[in-house]
Structures are given as structure tokens and as C-alpha cells.
Chain A
Amino acid sequence: MAQIDRYLSRIGFWLPYRDRASVLSDIRATLDELLANRAEALARPLTEGEIIAELRAFGRPEVVASRYTHAQPLVSAGLMPAYLRVMTISIVGVAIVQLLLAMATLVADPGEVWAPFIGRVVQGLLWTFSSITLTFAALSRICEARGAP
């Protein structure tokens, strides 16, 4: 059934590689069973439109994929207040430091301030965001492994 294959292929796109085959095989078996139940209830084979309606009722591919995966949030709820506080302090800190550096440069060479300043701020903010997020993601996994909230 081409509709089911297309539907499963769309679900597969959102699934992590390691679970993909097993989850898709599970969903295919479930859909076969659901469609057979429906056909049995109607006492006739399903039309293409009815099959599509059943697939729609099962859920949008990305929603179905999320229901079948046990994706952990990047930062756990317990660490979120600390994450937000550290992120805010760091971002403000980076902005202040870069502003001071820009002012110092302005004094030394008034013609060459804004382009490097903007570049450094963007680079600094990206680096800060990435490193703090990765650190808290690692901490979340450590806490989870130790059973901490």
C-alpha cells in the first residue's frame, strides 16, 4: 500500500536512526491491524480515501514519531532555573566585556570599531550559548543517570 509506505517514510524521517527500523515495523503492524479492523467493521475493503482518513486519524508523522521516541529534553526541568540564570549572567557578561573592548578600541583607533565589535559580540554570544547549553545537557544526563530530579 503506497499510502502506508509514504506515511511510514515520513514518520521515519523524524525517528532516531537506532530505533527507526523497530518503531516503523511496530507502526506498520499496528496500522495493518487498525485498517483490517476497519475493513472488517465495514465488511468490505477500504477505499483509498478511507485509508488516508485512518492514517490522518493516527496522527501527523512528526507527532507519531515523537510519541514513539523517548526523547529527553536537552536540559532537564530541574536544572532549567540554574541554566537560565547562568545563561543570562554569561550573556550580559559577554556583552559588557565586548562593549568595554569596543570602547577601548574606539579610543585607540576611532575608524575601526563597529564591524569587529559586532563580529566579536555575535561570536561570543554563540560560543557562550553553545558551551553553557552543552554543559547543562551533560549535567542533565549525569543527574538522570544518578536518579537525581
Chain B
Amino acid sequence: MRQELRRGTLVLAVLSALRRELCGSDLMTVLAAAGVLIEPGALYPMLRRLEDQGLLASEWRLEAGRKRRFYSASKAGLSTVEVLAEDLSVLMTGLAILREGDHGAN
């Protein structure tokens, strides 16, 4: 169950982080700093999938003598972040009410 919850929110976390352009290793660092731990073996396939879905774009560039791939959320990705964040916020509010037990049910 925790995995399902995590899977759903990871996409939101990754797209949110990619509001600014980042290479894969920097993305992992940014996510880890925010408490979102993800292994490279899971992150890179997700990046490819999100790119296939048009939610992010990537570009290979030479930086400090090394080829690096930079990722950033596309326009569609940014709108998806907004929609998902709004959905999550509504869900969190509902969940808070339910956890307080003050939801009017007998």
C-alpha cells in the first residue's frame, strides 16, 4: 500500500523538481534533499516514460567536458503538476478531516 502511494506521488515530486532544468544526478540530489528517495534504476525509466508522454523534455549537453542529459518539465508537464498538486491538496484536506474523526458520520 505504501508503494502504491509512493508511486503516485513520485511523478508529482519529479515533475515539481523539474520546473527548473536538472541533470539526472542533480535531480536525485534535489529529490533526496526533499526527503524523496529514489534509486537511479527507478528514476531513469520514469524520466523516459514521462518524456514519452510529453510531460518533460531532455537534452544532451557537454558540461565540464562530460556529456550530460538535462531534463525539464514541458508545458504539459507543468500543467500536470498543477492539476496533480491541486488533487493532492484536496485529498490531504479530506484526509485530515477523516483522521480528526469529525466527519459527521454515526
Contact = CB atoms under 8 A, between A and B. Distances in A.
Interface of A: 23, 26-27, 29-30, 32-34, 36-37, 40, 57-59, 63-64, 67-68, 70
B41 A58 contact: yes
Interface string B63-84: 0001111000000000000000
Query: Top 3 closest A-B pairs, CB basis?
Result: A59-B41, A67-B45, A58-B41
- Of B40, B60, B67, B68, most buried by chain A (CB within 10 Å of CB) is B40
A149 B49 CA distance: 21
Main secondary structure of the interface of B (DSSP, over half): helix
Interface residues of B, number: 18
Contacts of B49: 70
Contacts of B68: 33
Contacts of A29: 60, 67, 69
Given A30-B24, A33-B25, A37-B25, A67 B41 contact: yes
Contacts of B25: 33-34, 37
B66 A36 contact: yes
Contacts of A57: 39-41
Given A29-B69, A33-B67, 5 more contacts: A32-B67, A34-B24, A36-B66, A68-B45, A70-B52
Nearest to A27: B44
Nearest to B45: A67
Contacts of B20: none
Given A26-B48, A68-B48, A70-B49, A33 B69 contact: yes
A70 B52 CA distance: 11
B1 interface: no
19 contacts: A23-B48, A27-B44, A30-B44, A32-B67, A33-B25, A33-B66, A33-B67, A34-B24, A34-B25, A40-B66, A57-B39, A58-B39, A58-B41, A59-B39, A59-B41, A59-B42, A67-B42, A67-B45, A68-B48
A58 B41 CA distance: 4
Contacts of A59: 39, 41-42
A33 B60 CA distance: 11
A30 B40 contact: yes
